[in-house]
Amino acid sequence: MNASVTNGGPLAVLRRFAQTGAKEERCDLCNARLAPGHRHLLEMENRIIHCSCEGCAMRLQGVMGGRFKMIPRDARALPGLEMSDGQWEGLALPINLAFFFHSSPAGKMIALHPSPAGAMESLMPPETWEALVAANPVLDDIERDVEALLVNRVDECREYFIAPIDKCYELAGLIRTHWRGLHGGDIVWGKIDDFFARLKLQTAPVRENGAPVHA
């Protein structure tokens, strides 16, 4: 099943990323049965995420005029990333969670924050991102369109990841699905904690130059 990740898409889209125990999934492109942990493809022009079998993912990656890009599976932790409280507050985000990615069709960096209405775009002056990259050259390694800087600054957290874009929308889907009332409620914050706990189990930290840190 495909999933539009634009703000104009149906509200059910982000909810799909939060569902567990879903019905059997099939490749959006050839209808083959999909295994758990299957690949996702990003359709560039409209930011639609497609579930894909391995064959279709490999066949369409980098062809058809660049219509599709394969979304990476792995996330990387950035424990040494430098972002001051002042820089974060300057973004004027209503929640201390956000992700930032370069959109090739839009030709710019886009900042999105999860909300009860889905992933919402926030205005981000280009110089804000440029200052972050200058202080953190590893951000130059983010693959356009399909990876993002994912930021968790909830309460005392200062956690930063280079994450696949579908993981970022999964977080947005959790919040869209489970948010209740003005402050979200205990259930949604528990889901957010679980999401980052799982993400950290799947990541490896990287040095400033982008090389993985081995134990």
pLDDT band at 163 (very low <50, low <70, confident <90, very high): very high
Cβ neighbors of 59 (< 8 A, separation 6 or more) are none
Contact yes or no for 97/152 (Cβ under 8 A): yes
Does one domain contain both 43 and 145? no
Residues facing 161 on adjacent strands: 77, 150
- 213, part of any domain: no
- What is the distance between the terminal CA atoms of the chain, rounded to a whole angstrom? 39
Beta strands in the chain (DSSP E): 2-4, 39-43, 48-52, 68-70, 75-77, 97-103, 108-115, 118-122, 147-152, 159-164, 203-205
pLDDT of residue 63: 64
The pLDDT of residue 179: 94
Strand-pairing partners, residue 163, are: 148
Residue 167 lies in a domain: yes
pLDDT bracket for residue 91 (50, 70, 90): confident
Most confident of 51-55, 122-126, 148-152: 148-152
Band (123; pLDDT cuts 50, 70, 90): confident
CB-CB neighbours of 132 under 10 Å:
18
Q: Are 102 and 144 in contact (CB under 8 A)?
A: yes
In a domain, 62, yes or no: yes
> What pLDDT sits at residue 35?
85
Q: Are residues 47 and 110 in the same domain?
A: no
Whether residue 104 is found in the same domain as residue 172 = yes
User: Mean pLDDT across the chain, nearest whole number?
Assistant: 84
Same domain for 197 and 145, yes or no, is yes
Q: Is residue 25 very low, low, confident or very high in pLDDT (cuts 50, 70, 90)? A: confident
pLDDT of residue 40: 92
Residue-level pLDDT at 92:
82
Please tell me the predicted confidence (pLDDT) of residue 205.
Answer: 67
Residue 214 forms part of a structural domain: no
Same domain, 60 and 103: no
Q: pLDDT of 176-194, one tens digit each? A: 999 999 899 999 999 999 9
> How far apart are alpha carbons 120 and 14 in whole angstroms?
12
> What does the alpha-carbon distance between residue 158 and residue 164 come to, in Å, rounded to a whole number?
19
Q: Do 27 and 99 sit in the same domain of this protein?
A: no
112 and 39 belong to one structural domain? no
Q: Which among 70, 100, 118 is the end of a domain?
A: 70
Statement to judge: residues 99 and 143 lie in one domain: yes
Residue 212 pLDDT greater than 80, yes or no: no
* For residues 9-34, average pLDDT: 64
The shares of helix, strand and coil residues in the chain, as percent rounded to the nearest 5, are: 30, 30, 40
Domain that holds residue 16: 2-70
Structural domains of the chain, count: 2
68 neighbors 60 (Cβ within 8 angstroms): yes
Threshold 0.75, pTM exceeds: yes
Is 215 domain-assigned?
Answer: no
The verdict on 129 and 62 lying in the same domain is no
